[in-house]
Amino acid sequence: MIRIFLILPLLAAAVLFLASLETAPLVSRGETISPASVAEARQLLHRNDPRRLRRGEQRTAQIPVALIDEAVNHLASRKIHGRGAFALTDETGEFRFSVPVPLPGLSAARYLNLRASFVAEDGRARLASASLGSLPIAPRLFEWLSVSLIELAGLGEQWQLLRQAFRRLDFVPARSAVVFTYAWEPGLLDGARAFAFTPADTRRVEAAQRALASVLMKYPVNAHVPLSEVLPPLLAGPPGEETLQQRRAALLVLAAYESGKSLQALFPRAGEWPRPRRLNLELLGRYDSAQHFAISAALAAWAGEPAANAIGIYKEIDDSQRGSGFSFADLAADRAGTRFGEVLLGDSARLNAALRGPLRDSDLAPPLSGLPEYLSAAQFERRYGGQDNPAYRRVSADIEARVAALPLYR
């Protein structure tokens, strides 16, 4: 009899779960991240740089709705293989999520659709309504489930720190923004690191840093070295999950090396690790191409293709305004790096064969000849207008075709 009472809640939960599944997704969209959102995120982080904040210092951040929307969708895509959205209407903020649920015997997927609406009252967010498919969820049950999931994900400590730091939240439809006031606590940064990198990740990144230092030691200082010479020994290892994770760590270390950035902000003990010798790593004879390739490969391996593509395009738009100019050649190196990161995540036999060598730069990136470069903002606007302009799309299609023609990325 006791067993029956234990099983009944599970059966009821299973029945409710199946009853909540729907034939169409509540959220239907791609994974694309816009360069504009990358720019907004960068400005937001710059204005709230934790290195310039004192404990207890109070700050107010205005976060655009579009940025929250794309961040929610990106996290849903990466963490639950679904789609997400956020909208603000009439001072009500609504989160929506759709996760495909394949069921045996059904050709078409069913979708788990979640909707949760919040209102801001006296600087606090209050759950107004929630539903799973067509089934309404009581606010207290929703809150309990949310806290339980946070605890199960091992984020209970970070959640408590956020609650302690929180001061006020307001929805401002007139500005299409969410205004968030907080008091800075250094523990928030440690919590963010713990969320982004596990202790195992830290060990792998340290091993990758030591490996890079060892690989580069055989070259003279400031030597010009093809990237294709460095990648095979850096990414060596038998096929398998541990080698895959070690390769992701190696791409992160290589990206930090190529960008001239210290890993200490992400891994506080990185200052104690060996410092790789400074060389001029090149791709197709170009230092900038090696830099774009390595950074995009790491972004694709750690944050996903949409983020890598968006950051690459944002960088070129920013360069057209105050840097070396917009470069489609750099975009081609970005795109090749992104595809390399994707192939690495797939642990493909083709990549493993390529790393056994001989590997050449021409295996990693397509020829860059004929791709326009050094375009000022005015020149770019006049000739290409923007990402939706037919002229821009033609060059982008050319880049995609060049990358796709490489055997490694077919």
Amino acid 112: pLDDT: 87
Amino acid 66: pLDDT: 93
Residue at 372: amino acid letter: P
Phi and psi for 217 in degrees, rounded to 5? -65, -25
Phi and psi for 372 in degrees, rounded to 5? -60, 140
Cα–Cα dist 308/315, whole Å? 11
pLDDT digits (tens, 9 = 90+) for 327-380: 999 999 999 999 999 999 887 788 899 998 899 999 999 999 999 999 898 898
Global confidence as pTM: 0.80
Token look-up 């190696």 returns: 250
Phi and psi for 342 in degrees, rounded to 5? -65, -45
Amino acid 307: pLDDT: 73
Q: Choose among 14, 6, 32, 111: nearest CA to 308.
A: 32
Q: Which residues contact 193 (CB under 8 A, 6 or more apart)?
A: 266, 267, 268
Full DSSP string of 96-107: EEEEEE--TT-S
Here the tokens at position 150 are 């946070």
Residues of the chain with pLDDT under 70: 1-19, 105-107, 149, 152-155, 314
Amino acid 149: pLDDT: 66
